[in-house]
């Protein structure tokens, strides 16, 4: 078992960042504050919403662009859905 000492530092974002003191410690997950391991380019993302868990009864679908300056996050505003019911989604 490898042990590492981690230091908690305040970043320029509202989040705290844990930093390993040695370059020999490898990240086990993508770094969300550094593009999440993705290339520094916009990516088109397909999304869909359905009435069933298997996504076979689709009600809405579309495409959005995930950009590096927003951490490749996607926010989709969907209108026309019925109130008081469950929907399933996929990106």
pLDDT digits 0-9 by tens, 5-55: 545 555 565 555 555 555 565 666 666 666 566 778 898 999 999 999 999
- The set of residues, in sequence order, having a beta carbon less than 8 Å from that of 33 and lying 6+ positions away, is 11, 13, 15, 17, 71
What pLDDT does residue 34 have?
66
For domain 43-90, give the CATH superfamily.
Answer: Purple acid phosphatase-like, N-terminal (2.60.40.380)
Backbone CA torsion sign across 49, 73, 66, 79? positive
How far is residue 73's CA from residue 66's CA, in Å, rounded to a whole number? 6
Q: What is the pLDDT of residue 69?
A: 84
Tell me, yes or no, if the pTM score tops 0.75: no
């Amino acid at each position: 078992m490898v042990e590492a000492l981690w230091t908690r530092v305040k970043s320029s974002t509202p989040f705290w960042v844990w930093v390993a003191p040695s370059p020999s410690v490898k990240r086990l997950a993508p770094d969300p504050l550094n593009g999440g391991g993705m290339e520094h380019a916009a990516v088109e993302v397909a999304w869909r919403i359905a009435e069933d868990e298997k996504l076979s009864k689709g009600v809405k679908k579309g495409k959005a662009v995930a950009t590096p300056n927003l951490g490749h996050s996607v926010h989709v505003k969907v209108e026309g859905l019925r109130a008081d019911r469950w929907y399933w989604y996929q990106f």
